């Protein structure tokens, strides 16, 4: 891996794939399942070179993610300058303001709204019934084990 630090932002397949489908207007679903699994297979095969940043942990306890990344990659990230609650409040405020007035289209589409949440719920049913969902779920369970050992 040529000494390049790799950090995988890992999210449960139901949430990750459903969110992707909302963001991508339901296009390329089969490709998303394939890519999701491939990325996790790679991370499981390289547990000492791919640091896992679990989605829930990133949102709720960012300092723990920084600690894990630093254990895997030798202290490459400085500790957060704000506690998790303050950091989350700052990020939420910034995302909210951009969703109302911002010109960043990617962020504007990605910020949750009632319309997108309803659409995401429809996609969740599709994702749960997809033939590859079980494979992705198994790989995510393996990622959780890798993260717990890092």
Closest residue by Cα to residue 117 from 15, 30, 29: 15
**What's the CA gap between 91 and 85, in Å, rounded?**
10
**What's the CA gap between 44 and 38, in Å, rounded?**
10
Closest residue by Cα to residue 42 from 8, 65, 15, 70: 8
The pLDDT tens digits along the chain (150 residues) read 567 889 999 999 999 999 888 888 888 899 999 999 999 999 999 999 999 999 989 888 888 999 999 999 999 998 887 776 787 777 777 766 666 655 555 555 556 667 777 888 889 999 999 999 999 999 999 999 999 999
**What's the CA gap between 75 and 59, in Å, rounded?**
21
C-alpha pair distances (Å), 75 with each of 22, 112, 119: 36, 33, 40
C-alpha pair distances (Å), 23 with each of 38, 96, 100, 109: 20, 17, 17, 7
What's residue 81's pLDDT?
78
What's residue 105's pLDDT?
53
**What helix, strand, coil percent values describe the chain, rounded to 5?**
70, 5, 25
Q: What is the DSSP letter of 2?
A: T
What's residue 90's pLDDT?
77
Give the angle subtended at the CA of 49 by the CAs of 43 and 50, to the nearest 5°: 40
Give the angle subtended at the CA of 86 by the CAs of 84 and 87, to the nearest 5°: 60
Q: Return the domain boundaries, the chain.
A: 6-79+113-149
pTM, entire model: 0.79
């Amino acid at each position: 891996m040529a000494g390049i630090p790799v950090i995988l932002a890992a999210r449960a397949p139901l949430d990750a794939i459903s969110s992707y489908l909302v963001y991508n207007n339901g296009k390329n679903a089969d490709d998303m399942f394939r890519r999701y699994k491939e990325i996790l297979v790679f991370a499981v095969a390289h547990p000492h070179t791919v640091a896992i940043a679990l989605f829930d942990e990133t949102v709720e306890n960012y300092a723990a993610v920084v600690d894990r990344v630093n254990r895997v990659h030798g202290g490459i990230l400085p500790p957060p300058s704000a506690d998790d609650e303050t950091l989350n409040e700052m990020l939420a405020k910034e995302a909210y303001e951009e969703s109302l007035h911002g010109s960043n289209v990617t962020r504007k589409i990605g910020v949750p709204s009632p319309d997108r949440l309803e659409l995401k719920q429809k996609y969740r049913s599709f994702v749960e019934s997809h033939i590859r969902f079980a494979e992705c779920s198994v790989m995510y369970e393996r990622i959780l084990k890798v993260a717990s050992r890092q």
